[in-house]
Structure 1
Amino acid sequence: MNRLAGHVLGLLPALYLVLLGFFDGLGANPIEWLTRNTGKWALILLLASLAVTPLVKGGGKVGLGAKIIKFKKIMPWRRLLGLYAFFYALLHFSVYLIFDLSFDFSFLWADIQDRPYITVGFLAFVILLALALTSSNYSRRKLGRHWVGLHKSVYVADALVLLHLFWLIKADFYRFWWYAGVYIGLMAFRFLAVKL
């Protein structure tokens, strides 16, 4: 698996959204549909990026017929998946800002102050923005040991995204608990790995 394959996989959801829009397949409320689905893919890719290290450190490998795939080969995908998570988070935020708020930042500030799910969602977006801007090798060299501490905040961002989702869901909590279960499992692995 190379970087080209990673880019293709990362862009497939966006291509799917574009095709649905082109063929008028976004439903009766396309803005709500776009907001929901860009947010969904941001969360999925964020969880996928967090899963890379446990898979690699777990020393796992999977057999596909006569071929063995070692999970350590996916380590370069961690940063790529994180950047695509930010890409979909940016789309999610942009749809909300442009179509819901008509690019009025006073409305944005009011929502951040008055609506808890907007507050935590915006905080998560700010964290992901900081991580995306400092994701390069140059930033890692310049920030030194502070870079590691900064990028550990991805776990906080993910928790905030889950809280954002929890406050938004009116029914169908199964989906939330599935995402939360994956996150809790990844955090448990991280805690145990530190203890061992």
Structure 2
Amino acid sequence: MFKFFPLKEKGFFAENDDELMKHIQKGDHNAFSNLVHRHSSKCYSIAYRFTGNVCDAEDVVQYAFFKIWQKPDLWQKKHNTKVSSWIYKIITNRCIDISRKRTPSGNLDLDRISSAGISCEEQLAINEKHRMLENAIANLPINQRTALNLCFYEDISNKDASEIMNLSTKAVQSQIMRAKKNLKEMLRNYHDSKK
């Protein structure tokens, strides 16, 4: 899995992300390292859920943090946006840009699925179900996929997801409900076609 390793400097600690961003806006490398350390795992997870590919997810995270370092003034406290929501929005937007440039392949890295204690046949069945679900998610409309990934898989609150997606909280909830309905229908159609 993709990991960032923070710079070590004794004595540097920021209570919150807002404080880190103030230091980053002044060019503080250690504050930036702290921010990366705090958010890189969640960013990678979001990017991986969107892209289904380790290399693409790593590229997205690297792009986002590079953008934050190059243009930290894009985040402004007066806009009342949480730093984490701003970062996740950069990640999400980059993933959407990538997904628009290519069609879904459904090639998820299956080595992340544990096979301990089950037979080969059971593992194959699990892999097939997983592949089928990931393909169905990849074929959802982008807003439904984004809402589902952020709220369900990444456990981001609907309120924070609404900031990231530039939608109202009710619209995010609606996108999640539509996504679930569409997934149910896609999976039903898949099962019906196998009969």
TM-score range, shorter chain: 0.3 to 0.5
| Structure with more strand by fraction | 1
| Structure with more helix by fraction | 1
